[in-house]
Every structure is written in structure tokens, then in C-alpha cells.
Structure 1
Amino acid sequence: MNKDLMLLQKEHEEEVRSLRAHLGNKVNVEVDAAPGLNLSAIMSEMRQKYEAMAQENLQKAKEQYETQIETLQQQVTVSTEELKESRDQIKELRRTYQSLEVQLQSHLSLKEALEHTLEETNARYCSHLAIIQTQLNFLEGQLVQIRTNTEHQSHEYNILLDIKSQLEQEIATYRCLLEGEDVK
């Protein structure tokens, strides 16, 4: 912006010099001029008007330059604040990411440990279940054997009861026969 201001000042000075040179080189004095005209006063008046216009243009350029500088400074301030906020957000997001990464690793480790424990527990229970199943099969075999033995013994008992009943009947018959002989 300083370069723009310097450029405007140089252009203004060149324009003033050009006008002065132009007016100074074009002074034509005619003899037939009206006797009441004062050329130097007219020249002076024109010079003052052009200098006033140049000064006004310079003032406008300065005001425009200052307005642009102020606008740019506000934009720079806003951009700087936004940049700072963005950096703060990035830092916060990095912290959050790192925290979540640590939590994830912790959960993954815990999951792995729990899966390992589950596998060990399953293996232990499968082994224990196999032992129990073996014992159950053995006990079922013994139960079948006991039932078979019990049925066999029951059958033998029934046979023996039948034999006993027959023997008791025979004994009773012999007694009756013996007692019948004793009575005679």
C-alpha cells in the first residue's frame, strides 16, 4: 500500500509539472488582446485550480489507501484469529485422537486377554466334560450291569420261590402222609 501511495504522489507531482510546463510553454501574448485582461492573474488562477484539484485527488487517494489498509488489517486480524482457532481445534482433535487411540489399544488388549481366557476356560470345561462323560458312560454301563444282575437275581429268586413253594407243598404232603401213617 505504501508503494501505491508513493506511486500516486509521483503521478501527482508529474501531472503538476506537466501542467506547469504546458501552461508555461503555451503562453501566447497577442497584441490584439483586450487591454483589461491580466494573463498572469488568469494563469495564477488556473494554476491554483489545478493544484487544488491535484491536492483533492491526492487527499482522496490517501483516504482510499487508508480505508484499504484498515480493511486489510481487519481481514488479517480476522484471518489470524481464525488461524489460531483452527490450530487450537487441531491440537484438541489430536489430543482426542491420541486419547481414543490409547482407549482402542486398551480395549483391544482386554478383548484379546478375554478371548484367551475364554479359550482356556472352554478347553478346561471340554476336558472336564469329557471326564464326566466317561464317568457317566462307565456308571451307565454299571447300571445296565446292575439291572441285568438284579433281573437275573429276581428271576432266580422267583424260581427259588417256586421251588420253595413246591418243596413246602411236598413237605406238607409228606407230613400229611407221615402223620396219616402214625395215626393208623
Structure 2
Amino acid sequence: RHIEQLVAEIELLKKLHDEEVAELRKQIEYSKMTAELDGDRPDLAVASRSVQEAEKWYKSKFDTLKEHAGKHEEHMKTMKDEITTFHNKVTELQSQIDQLEDMDGVIAQMEPQLCETKLEMTKYPQDYQELLHIKLQLDVEITTYRKLLEEEEQRLGIAKDQTLINLQYTSVFRIVLKIEVRGASVLIPLSGALVKGNSLYSVNSQSQCQCGDSNTTSYGPMLL
């Protein structure tokens, strides 16, 4: 039992010793830290000045960058407006291109009709020349017959309003000059005169030309 008391006493003393050692170590560490802080105070002042200068430099840089950012923002806005304008122009041009493509399609569709019309137009001068040639032949022959008729009227004493001349064309498309005097009629074929289609040339005493669409054309008392 006495031994147990001694052991307990030793353990208590050991614990107190350890606590004292720990306390001393804390005091030593604290003293050491205080000494280091006292020795580093000039460096902290320098560091403080450096921090202030750094803040000032960064503030200056920030203001500069902010100014540049404002300018770039304005430039970007201008560029955006220009892009919008160009986009509108592109849209308008695309619309015009689409319209032109549609017109090209219409032109392509009308091209065969245009070619056909041109081909028909090339025939008109030839037809006109043929008809003009026929008219000239008729004028010559009718003038000849008119002179003969006028001489015969003068010889017989017949008034002009009692004489009727008709131009007819037969089934073989030859023009025939029909002269009617006081109920009597005479048919005189005009040599070499052909009628084109259903057109009929009639010439009166004043050498005027008309076209008819019937197989026989009469003009009353006019000299044809």
C-alpha cells in the first residue's frame, strides 16, 4: 500500500513537471515571436508602402483599361451598327437577285414565243412584197381596161354611173374582172394575178385599193 502511494505521488509530480515544462515552452515561444515581430517592423513599413504603391499602380492601370474598354465598347457599337446596315443591304440585294431570277424564268418561258413571233415577222415583208406585186399588176391591167371602157362609154354615150365593174376570184385563185353595162355582163380574167388567202383586191376608178373577204365583191355604181 505504501508503495502504491509513492507511485501515485511520483505520477502527480511527473504530471506537474510536464505542465511546467509546457508552460515554459509557451513562454519561450511567445518571447521568440515578440522578438521577431520587433525585428520585422521596419520591413512591414516598407511592405505597407509597397502595397500602397501597388494599389496606386493597379488603380492607374484599371482606370486606363476602363478608358480603353469604353473606347472599344463605342467602337464595337459602331461596328455593330455597320454590320446591321450591311445585313440589310445584303437582304435587299438578295431580294433583287430573287426578282431577277424570277424574271429570267419568265424570259426563258417567253423565249420560244418570241422566236416564233420573230419567225412570223420575217414572213410579213415577203407576203407584203407578193401582194404589192399583185396590186401593181392589177393596177396596170385595170388601167388598161378602164381606158378601153371609157372609150367604149364615150362611143356608146353611156354615163359612168350606169357602169358596174366587179372583181371576182375563181376556185383556182385567179382574179376575174366582171363588167356590167345596162344588165349585160362580161367576165375578163386578169392574167398572172393570184389571190393570197381570202384577200381580194378591188380598184375603183380613182385607183383606190380595198380588200374584201367574199368570193364576189360589188361596189354599186363605182368604177372598180
The structure, 1 or 2, with the larger RCO (C-alpha pairs under 8 Å, 6+ apart) is 1
**Structure with greater proportional strand content:** 2
- State the TM-score, normalizing by the size of structure 1: 0.45
**Structure with greater proportional helix content:** 1
